[in-house]
């Protein structure tokens, strides 16, 4: 893996860890907040219920107190009558009774629930009666079981006429009328219930455990030092708050929120109990959403870093390819430079060689001419001298020819190289050109005892070309063949190959080594051999041939086997 890829993946991994860690911390915080919100909500419910119950009980108590204030001189019968509208208007009373100053029930409503003649002192039930009487204020009791079932709370209101104690109004308030109004149906059954306890920890109402009503939770519903007992003890201490407890009967944790209910000298406590799984479910639902969010963020990070890695590696690849290409190009130009350099060195060497050859080639005829001129000047008019003079003129003539050929060759090669060689193109007969070339070389061939054969297809072969230049090419090739052949023959063959005339000039001479086959067409190049030195030459002939043939749009190459001969192949 490349460094860039590794670095990108490492950054991505780091980002994922950071996002996951933040997610975890946020989850915990959100979990805490949700839990807090939830318990606060429960607490609000209990407060609502407590306020309702307190208002309800206060209303009842005040009604009775108002009645008691006005009833100082009312007869027991009249008292019972005044109970009727209160009983019906303010629902929730079990019964309202009037007990005279001696502690005997004298009237009440409804009549069937008024135990007329019941003597509190005789039955030893005078405790609350006495307290109300002595304190001269309303005294309320914790709910106790009622005769026909359920719980009822007793409200003792003393009746005084100035300082004369007339008796007590006793109103019994049903606890069920409280629970029906304020505790039942406050919350959906499957999500918890409400309950209410009195100061001593007895159940006044329990939405889920009806059998507990009237009994104490501690000892029956839970053990003394259980988590629930602790909550109950807080409730009995008139505190408001929330707590967790483990419910042994259902085997689950529950959350309790509780608020005290204050009614005169009584303090009860109302509470909600909901399964902790409810808040867990809430928290989990938040968790799930957050985890989904984190997962999406991680996927985005991964996808992002994946793309970055992809882009980086693509750039990398492109860069590598570019570098590779450039290196390749550099190598190529290097090789080209090297070979150009080699060629230049070779050219330089050839040029030096040429300078010495050319000087020699130029000087030799000059020397001959000079010598001949000196001899010519000393000749007399004798017959012998006349013969000598003719020979000397012949020598001068040949040397001038030799020198002018060399100068012409030099001019030709210079024109070829500068692209100024003119081609006088016309319709010509190739065979004619070949025959003329052979003819002009016949004397030399005969001198060397070498026969020149032509092998031509048909009588004529019309082509477009520069007659003189083509003659120069064939004369050059035949001349070379004669120069480098000791014995044997020279053959000129013409064939049509793929619609083009192919001319093969072959000899049976010394041949050319394979590595020289291409180079002999370079100017000044001569194969380094004794014979080459012996026969002389400028190394320009073949270069001129190639220039002329290529100028005609053709090609020239050499084939050879050392010691057996060479063939120059021209395709026009």
- If we measure between CA atoms, which residue out of 568, 527, 526, 528 comes closest to residue 548? 568
Burial class (CB in 10 A: 0-12, 13-18, 19+), 525: buried
In the complex, least distance from residue 484 CB atom to ligand ADP, rounded to whole angstroms: 3
Query: 218 near 202, Cβ under 8 Å?
Result: no
Per-residue tokens: 150: 């359920």
Q: How far apart are CA 83 and CA 62, in angstroms?
A: 14
Select from 217-225, 253-261, 418-426, 505-513 the region that touches ligand ADP (CB under 6 A).
505-513
C-beta closer to ligand ADP: residue 43 or 413: 413
Query: 175 near 151, Cβ under 8 Å?
Result: yes
In the complex, least distance from residue 566 CB atom to ligand ADP, rounded to whole angstroms: 4
- If we measure between CA atoms, which residue out of 367, 361, 360 comes closest to residue 395? 367
Decide: is 532 part of the binding site for ligand ADP (CB under 6 A).
Answer: yes
Decide: is 484 part of the binding site for ligand ADP (CB under 6 A).
Answer: yes
Helices 3-70 and 76-89 sit at what angle, rounded to 10 degrees?
A: 150
How many C-beta neighbours within 10 Å does residue 279 have?
21
Decide: is 480 part of the binding site for ligand ADP (CB under 6 A).
Answer: yes
Select from 84-92, 231-239, 245-253, 530-538 the region that touches ligand ADP (CB under 6 A).
530-538
Which contiguous run of DSSP H or E holds residue 383? helix 383-418
Distance of CA 115 to the CA centre of its chain: 90
Select from 172-180, 248-256, 375-383, 508-516 the region that touches ligand ADP (CB under 6 A).
508-516
- What are the backbone angles phi and psi of residue 317, rounded to the nearest 5°? -60, -45
CA dihedral over 282, 284, 288, 290, signed as positive or negative: positive
Q: How far apart are CA 444 and CA 435, in angstroms?
A: 15
Select from 27-35, 179-187, 342-350, 536-544 the region that touches ligand ADP (CB under 6 A).
536-544
Query: 505 near 481, Cβ under 8 Å?
Result: yes
Decide: is 481 part of the binding site for ligand ADP (CB under 6 A).
Answer: yes
In order, the DSSP letters of 153-173 are: EEEEEEEEETTEEEEEEEEEE
Site for ligand ADP, residues 183 to 212, rule: CB under 6 A: none
Helix (H, G, I), strand (E, B) or coil at 251: coil
In the complex, least distance from residue 395 CB atom to ligand ADP, rounded to whole angstroms: 21
C-beta closer to ligand ADP: residue 491 or 525: 525
Q: What letter would DSSP give residue 380? A: -
Among 260, 509, 547, 554, binds ligand ADP (CB under 6 A): 509
Query: 342 near 376, Cβ under 8 Å?
Result: no
Q: How far apart are CA 186 and CA 120, in angstroms?
A: 40
Burial class (CB in 10 A: 0-12, 13-18, 19+), 523: buried
Among 463, 542, 549, 572, binds ligand ADP (CB under 6 A): 542
Decide: is 507 part of the binding site for ligand ADP (CB under 6 A).
Answer: yes
Among 12, 120, 271, 520, binds ligand ADP (CB under 6 A): 520
C-beta closer to ligand ADP: residue 23 or 539: 539
Look up tokens 């086959």; give the residue. 517
Burial 31-45 (b: 16+ CB within 10 A, else e): beebbeebbeebbeb
* Residue-level length of the chain: 572
Decide: is 506 part of the binding site for ligand ADP (CB under 6 A).
Answer: no
Decide: is 465 part of the binding site for ligand ADP (CB under 6 A).
Answer: no
Decide: is 354 part of the binding site for ligand ADP (CB under 6 A).
Answer: no
Give strand pairing partners of 205: 196
Q: How far apart are CA 347 and CA 191, in angstroms?
A: 107
Interface with ligand ADP (CB under 6 A), residue total: 20
Tell me the pairing of strands 451-456 and 489-497.
parallel
Decide: is 567 part of the binding site for ligand ADP (CB under 6 A).
Answer: no
C-beta closer to ligand ADP: residue 396 or 527: 527
C-beta closer to ligand ADP: residue 180 or 559: 559
In the complex, least distance from residue 520 CB atom to ligand ADP, rounded to whole angstroms: 4
In the complex, least distance from residue 379 CB atom to ligand ADP, rounded to whole angstroms: 35
Burial class (CB in 10 A: 0-12, 13-18, 19+), 258: buried
C-beta closer to ligand ADP: residue 2 or 352: 352
In the complex, least distance from residue 404 CB atom to ligand ADP, rounded to whole angstroms: 15
Among 512, 548, 549, 556, binds ligand ADP (CB under 6 A): 512
Decide: is 541 part of the binding site for ligand ADP (CB under 6 A).
Answer: yes
Decide: is 566 part of the binding site for ligand ADP (CB under 6 A).
Answer: yes
Decide: is 538 part of the binding site for ligand ADP (CB under 6 A).
Answer: yes
Select from 144-152, 301-309, 496-504, 537-545 the region that touches ligand ADP (CB under 6 A).
537-545
In the complex, least distance from residue 313 CB atom to ligand ADP, rounded to whole angstroms: 58
In the complex, least distance from residue 481 CB atom to ligand ADP, rounded to whole angstroms: 5
Decide: is 159 part of the binding site for ligand ADP (CB under 6 A).
Answer: no
Q: How far apart are CA 533 and CA 349, in angstroms?
A: 16
In order, the DSSP letters of 87-110 are: HHHSTTEEEEEEEETTSBEEEEES
C-beta closer to ligand ADP: residue 173 or 543: 543
Decide: is 527 part of the binding site for ligand ADP (CB under 6 A).
Answer: yes
C-beta closer to ligand ADP: residue 74 or 480: 480
Decide: is 547 part of the binding site for ligand ADP (CB under 6 A).
Answer: no
Among 92, 539, 547, 554, binds ligand ADP (CB under 6 A): 539
Decide: is 413 part of the binding site for ligand ADP (CB under 6 A).
Answer: no
Look up tokens 């070389």; give the residue. 441
In the complex, least distance from residue 487 CB atom to ligand ADP, rounded to whole angstroms: 14
In the complex, least distance from residue 527 CB atom to ligand ADP, rounded to whole angstroms: 3
Decide: is 358 part of the binding site for ligand ADP (CB under 6 A).
Answer: no
In the complex, least distance from residue 424 CB atom to ligand ADP, rounded to whole angstroms: 23
Q: Where on the chain is the footprint of ligand ADP (CB under 6 A)?
A: 480-481, 484, 507, 509-510, 512, 520, 525-527, 532, 537-543, 566
């Amino acid at each position: 893996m490349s460094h860039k890829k590794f670095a990108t993946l490492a950054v991505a991994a780091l980002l994922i860890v950071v996002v996951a860690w933040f997610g975890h911390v946020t989850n915990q915080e959100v979990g805490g907040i949700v839990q807090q919100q939830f318990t606060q909500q429960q607490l609000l419910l209990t407060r609502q219920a407590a306020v309702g119950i307190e208002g309800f009980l206060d209303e009842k108590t005040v009604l009775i107190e108002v009645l008691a204030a006005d009833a100082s001189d009312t007869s027991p019968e009249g008292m019972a009558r005044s109970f009727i509208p209160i009983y019906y208007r303010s629902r929730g009373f079990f019964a309202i009774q009037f007990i005279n100053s001696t502690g005997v029930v004298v009237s009440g409503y409804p009549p069937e629930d008024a135990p007329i003649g019941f003597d509190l002192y005789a039955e030893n039930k005078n405790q609350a009666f006495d307290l109300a009487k002595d304190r001269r204020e309303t005294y309320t009791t914790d709910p106790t079981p009622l005769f026909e079932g359920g719980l009822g709370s007793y409200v003792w209101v003393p009746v005084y006429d100035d300082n004369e104690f007339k008796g007590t109004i006793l109103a019994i308030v049903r606890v069920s009328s409280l629970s029906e109004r304020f505790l039942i149906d406050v919350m959906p059954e499957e999500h918890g219930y409400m309950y209410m306890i009195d100061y001593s920890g007895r159940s006044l109402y329990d939405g889920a455990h009806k059998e507990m009503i009237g009994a104490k939770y501690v000892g029956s519903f839970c053990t003394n030092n259980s988590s629930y007992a602790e909550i109950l003890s807080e409730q009995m201490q008139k505190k408001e708050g929330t707590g967790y407890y483990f419910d042994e009967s259902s085997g689950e944790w529950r959350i309790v929120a509780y608020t005290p209910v204050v009614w005169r000298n009584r303090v009860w406590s109302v509470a909600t109990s909901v399964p902790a799984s409810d808040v867990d479910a809430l928290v989990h639902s938040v968790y799930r959403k957050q985890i989904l969010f984190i997962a999406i963020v991680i996927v985005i990070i991964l996808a992002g870093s994946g793309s970055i890695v992809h882009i980086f590696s693509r750039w990398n690849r492109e860069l590598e390819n570019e570098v590779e290409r450039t290196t390749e190009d550099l190598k190529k130009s290097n090789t080209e430079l090297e070979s150009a350099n080699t060629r230049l060195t070779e050219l330089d060497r050839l040029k030096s060689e040429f300078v010495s050859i050319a000087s020699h080639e130029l000087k030799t005829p000059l020397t001959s001419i000079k010598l001949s001129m000196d001899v010519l000047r000393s000749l007399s008019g004798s017959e012998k001298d006349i013969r000598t003079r003719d020979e000397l003129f012949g020598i001068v003539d040949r040397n001038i020819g030799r020198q002018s050929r060399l100068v012409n060759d030099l001019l030709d090669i210079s024109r070829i190289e500068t692209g100024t060689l003119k081609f006088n193109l016309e319709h010509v007969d190739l065979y004619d050109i070949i025959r003329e070339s052979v003819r002009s070389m016949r004397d030399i061939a005969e001198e060397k005892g070498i026969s020149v054969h032509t092998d031509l297809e048909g009588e004529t072969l019309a082509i477009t070309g520069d007659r003189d230049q083509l003659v120069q090419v064939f004369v050059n090739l035949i001349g070379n063949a004669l120069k480098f052949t000791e014995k044997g023959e020279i053959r000129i063959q013409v064939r049509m190959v793929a619609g083009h005339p192919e001319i093969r000039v072959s000899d049976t001479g010394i041949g050319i080594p394979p590595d020289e086959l291409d180079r002999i067409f370079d100017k000044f190049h001569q194969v380094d051999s004794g014979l080459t030195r012996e026969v002389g030459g400028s190394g320009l002939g073949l270069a001129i041939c190639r220039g002329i043939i290529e100028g005609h749009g053709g090609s020239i190459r050499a084939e050879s086997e050392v010691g057996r001969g060479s063939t120059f192949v021209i395709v026009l």
